[in-house]
């Protein structure tokens, strides 16, 4: 049962940050499995049933949800072999990340965040969302209203096209969202101490369920965007 991340999880993230080398990891691999990987797997396993009520096609297998500690450095100037944090995602089974809509959670040595959105810039989905804003603005507004976003702790974020102007007459909330290159919701202002408590699990569950109407909307426009790409 997940009772919170142990202090050893955070200690490992700090240690690997300052000793980011293969020899150190090999010497502490058992600690990683026990103090980092195991509690993350417990966290994912307890979230799984809730995620399947949101979308039955989510992949909830811990090994598929959790990111790797080892970094892919082939195209990076930073050749540090390991991350000093981990994240997990829930998205449609078998779907590529760059076309998917996903719930995410990230834990580092100094922060904890979670939310919902696209993995990076998904232009086909965002174009479909813009068409939906114009053609069915009330549908988009309803999803935002039901999910109760944005508020002071669940923010709508993403980069924007500087020269893209929203159509005249679009509601203010949609006009703000219309030029977005990407789109995600992030929980902020989380007391870090909650990471050590089971309360964290309940907070994440509540937000994930709360965001379901928005997930349904984003899933719909993602599918529409992919359909537009098919020959």
Q: Please count the residues of the chain.
A: 231
Look at residue 78 in the predicted model and tell me its pLDDT. Answer: 80
d(CA 213, CA 192): 28
- Asked if the model's pLDDT at residue 76 lies above 80, the reply is no
- Provide mean pLDDT across the span 49-67: 98
Extract long-range pairs of 191-194: CB within 8 Å, 24+ residues apart.
192/110, 192/111, 192/112, 194/4, 194/112
- Asked if the model's pLDDT at residue 65 lies above 80, the reply is yes
pLDDT digit string, tens, across residues 83-115: 999 999 999 999 988 889 999 999 999 999 999
Region at 200 (left for phi over 0; alpha for psi -120 to 50; beta for the rest): alpha
Residue closest to 188 by CA, chosen among 227, 156, 163, 213: 156
Q: Which two tokens stand for residue 6?
A: 């142990």
- Asked if the model's pLDDT at residue 231 lies above 70, the reply is no
E strands in 68-187? 85-90, 101-108, 112-118, 154-157, 184-187
Of residues 227 and 6, more confidently modeled = 6
d(CA 26, CA 175): 51
- Asked if the model's pLDDT at residue 70 lies above 60, the reply is yes
Domains defined for the chain, CATH in brackets: 7-229 (3.30.930.20)
Separation of CA 177 from chain center: 19
- Asked if the model's pLDDT at residue 153 lies above 60, the reply is yes
- CA distances for 125 relative to 90, 111, 160, 212, 229, angstroms: 18, 29, 14, 17, 10
Residue closest to 222 by CA, chosen among 129, 160, 120, 130: 129
Confidence of residue 230 (pLDDT cuts 50, 70, 90): low
- Provide mean pLDDT across the span 169-173: 93
d(CA 5, CA 45): 14
């Amino acid at each position: 049962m997940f009772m919170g991340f142990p202090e050893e999880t955070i200690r490992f993230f700090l240690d690997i940050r300052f000793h980011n080398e293969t020899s150190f990891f090999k010497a502490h691999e058992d600690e990683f499995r026990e103090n980092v990987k195991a509690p993350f797997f417990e966290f994912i396993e307890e979230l799984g049933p809730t995620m399947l009520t949101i979308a039955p096609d989510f992949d909830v297998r811990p090994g598929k949800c959790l990111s790797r500690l080892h970094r892919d450095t082939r195209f990076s100037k930073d050749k540090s072999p390991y991350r000093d944090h981990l994240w997990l995602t829930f998205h449609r089974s078998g779907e590529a990340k760059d076309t998917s809509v996903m719930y995410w959670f990230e834990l580092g040595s100094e922060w904890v965040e979670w939310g919902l959105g696209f993995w990076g810039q998904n232009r086909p989905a965002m174009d479909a969302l813009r068409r939906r804003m114009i053609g069915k603005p009330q549908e988009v507004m309803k999803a935002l209203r039901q999910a109760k976003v944005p508020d002071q702790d669940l923010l709508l974020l993403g980069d924007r096209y500087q020269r893209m102007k929203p159509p005249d007459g679009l509601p203010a909330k949609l006009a703000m969202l219309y030029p977005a290159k990407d789109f995600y919701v992030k929980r902020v202002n989380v007391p870090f101490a909650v990471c050590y408590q089971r309360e964290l699990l309940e907070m994440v569950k509540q937000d994930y369920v709360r965001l379901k109407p928005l997930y349904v909307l984003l899933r719909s426009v993602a599918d529409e965007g992919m359909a537009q790409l098919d020959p």
